[in-house]
Chain A
């Protein structure tokens, strides 16, 4: 993959995990169309959840708006927009778009710097980028715990992720399975609490 193609990947695919997976498949010589497509589809499947979660808020918007919001719908954009909605009580399309574009620019500038410097992704751990990602998700999630169903969803999701990882389920599938288990736990607890009221 030449530098132009590497930058193009960040510009049009705009999905960190899927890009890294595809790169490692290609450089490992296992880069057949079928393996890259199936890996991309499995890794991207969590975006189906984000898409479903925002559906009720965007269905009345015009096609260009929905297409733009979908293009910028990453983990980070979903996280900050969902948190903003939690805080203010309503879905803010402009907020979502601006944060999405901000992450898009950041990701592409980082890609550009990465290409210029020519560093491989191997040293990420030493610098602490991996940890910074974890810390960001912690810092976004913990303040949203305002009820026991959310707390249960987080505990079950996290422990499922460990169990699925421990029994060697592939990471991207484990992510979806653990998320759905946590969501189901949160849903069941909140339904039970409402019945008891």
Chain B
């Protein structure tokens, strides 16, 4: 019973945070300044998610040759800058990571 209560309350919390600003009960208008600020949401949040995965794979900063995440991540950056192709970038860099991580 407790587990179901946990699941349902978690569902309510995650849905609420997603629906919060979709609500029309909230009547405020977003000014141009706030909109411009929010324009940077996608690049800022996504970067704040991938950077720790690559540079802090075990939770602590690891910028050295033994960190197998860094080289394939740099390759991914270069590939996506040149080709702009998501799938190709993910496939090639993940393959390189897999090889490094299992045979390095």
Residues of A within 8 A of B (CB): 1, 5, 8-9, 12-15, 18-19, 22, 26, 31, 33, 36-37, 40-41, 44-56, 58-59, 66-67, 69-71, 73, 75, 78-79, 82-83, 86, 125-128, 130-145, 149-150, 153-154, 157-158, 160-162, 165-166, 171, 174-175, 178-180, 182-184, 186-187, 190-191
Contacts and interface: CB of A to CB of B under 8 A. Distances in A.
Interface in B32-61: 33-57, 59, 61
Interface of B: 3-11, 13-15, 17-24, 30, 33-57, 59, 61, 69, 72-73, 76-77, 79-81, 84-87, 89-90, 93-94, 97-98, 101-102
A141 B20 contact: no
Contacts, number: 257
A180 B41 CA distance: 8
5 contacts: A55-B22, A135-B73, A139-B85, A153-B43, A166-B61
A58 B22 contact: yes
Contacts of B20: 48, 51-52
Given A131-B94, A132-B90, A142 B77 contact: yes
Given A22-B10, A140-B86, A158-B51, A51 B44 contact: no
B6 A22 contact: yes
Nearest to A12: B11
A126 B101 contact: yes
